[in-house]
Chains A and B, each alone.
Chain A
Amino acid sequence: MKTLSRIYMFIVFGLLYAPIVVLVLFSFNRAGTFNTYSGFSLYWYRELFRDQTALDALKNSLILATLSSVTATLIGTLAAYGIHRIRSKAVKTVINSVTNIPMMNPDIVTGVSMMLLFAAAAAIPFLKVEMGFWTMLIAHITFNLPYVILSVLPKFKQMDKHLTEAALDLGCTPAQTFLKVELPSIMPGVISGLMLGFTLSLDDFVISHFVSSSDFKTLPLYVYNQTAHEVKFSMYALCALMVFAILLLMILVNFAGADRTEKKKKKKTAAAVR
């Protein structure tokens, strides 16, 4: 029974990884087909780096992920501070449920609902709303917010409230108390919210798909466009590079912060349940 279940486990993991491994291996194949393997070559990687739109997309993705995760972390941390102190249970529930809507809804509904909002705003002449960088930034901040609050709020709850009271008694203003006492103790939550937001933003395709224009493409949108028609082997190279980057990131995070990533994914899991 035990060996049988081990074999089963290895088979499932094998199948889960097989396509990704094949893709990475064949990205080094100069021939550009699956029929013949003409030896190790970086040809498709050179092709990829000659493609200016791919490099621009990478740059755009990094800019968008940084700005959206930082903004969402600022708004979300302040919000968690406020939500933690709301006394009325009903008010708390209402705010939390509205905040969590983007986490519960399918991405496509979030995407089209924001598209409708921006289209309506575009009809107002002095607003000058156009799909592009700003609409994407707003959308990314919006879907990052619930994850930031989900990471930060429990830290406020875990905090010893006597610390805050002591600081206030000893003459700190509420602002000083927040900066000097509360912020340091919720910092792990703030950081994991920031990192989660950054990766979610980097990874998002569906919502961006509905609020973007051709002048501002992120990496997932670029991949989508490139895979719309025939299969190009420079795309395999790009995919392989992204897999390597994620692998590196995971190894780094795992070495640096013990089980922080594990908690994050579980939070995401828990979030989807609520």
Chain B
Amino acid sequence: MSDVTITVDGRSVAVSDDATILDACRDLGQDQPTLCYLENLTPVNACRVCVVEVEGSRTLVPSCSRSAEEGMVVKTDSPRVRLSRKMVLEFLASSVDLSQSTEEVHSWLDQYEVDVARYGPQVTGAAPRDGRHAGHHAIPTGLTAETVDQPVKVDNELYIRDYAKCILCYKCVEACGEDAQNTFAIAVAGRGFDARISTEFDVALPGSACVYCGNCIGVCPTGALQFRSEYELRQEGLWEEDEQTVTRTVCSYCGVGCNLELHVQDNRIVKVTSPMDHSVTNGHLCIKGRFGYDYVQELGDDLASTPIDIVLKRARSG
């Protein structure tokens, strides 16, 4: 593979000819914000938060998918780039609950001086959105910020879907589809502001094609998809991420050798993830690896001494 040399913010960098602009930026230690991009998924160019300015290009280009080309001159922090990223993040932050998004997302909100207040008070009310049809809703007054607030979907023992937190990055659709699981249980339904992630005909997960691999949870950057255990613990104010240990081990089931990261709080497994940089799993698991650990949990039923156990038990009672 031959090298190509590009310039990023005045610094020159040589990368292989299959590298993207984002790869080149990362080589320089200049990571760019991304929401819909993930190393183990095909770029879908949905979020536009990674856009950069390329000399000679009429529009801003997504750095996560645009190939680096010989002689390219890239700016990642020009006023035009900053404004575009600010707008993207403001539209999301004003319409979506980002409270449980990653720390990175919050740092970008600060970095690009996101000002949600200027869109007016956010409309909340948690009405279901799945029955909406394009064009069939009231014309906004412009005085309030429209949101995607809606009730949490809790319809099975293993995970919940809180689409009030969904930024439509499509990562879950990709992970459920060709990039990993190939189950195709979910897709984007609706149009425009009514676009949403949905099972076929909005059936509950147990009636859908879902096989509960949880790979959609693994890629979700905003907490819209969560382990039932994490969700219930958060509801009770018992989710203590700072006190959790994360230990890498190997799944106890079949012989494939999937690596698991056990998130442990108070000697209880509260979540299982998988490292993205491991060649066996590429971050993905099956239902047994992701959820089949209860046999090593000995959950007590004394509310005073083991409140976390009570919640974990309830989380699995369906």
B is a partner of A: no
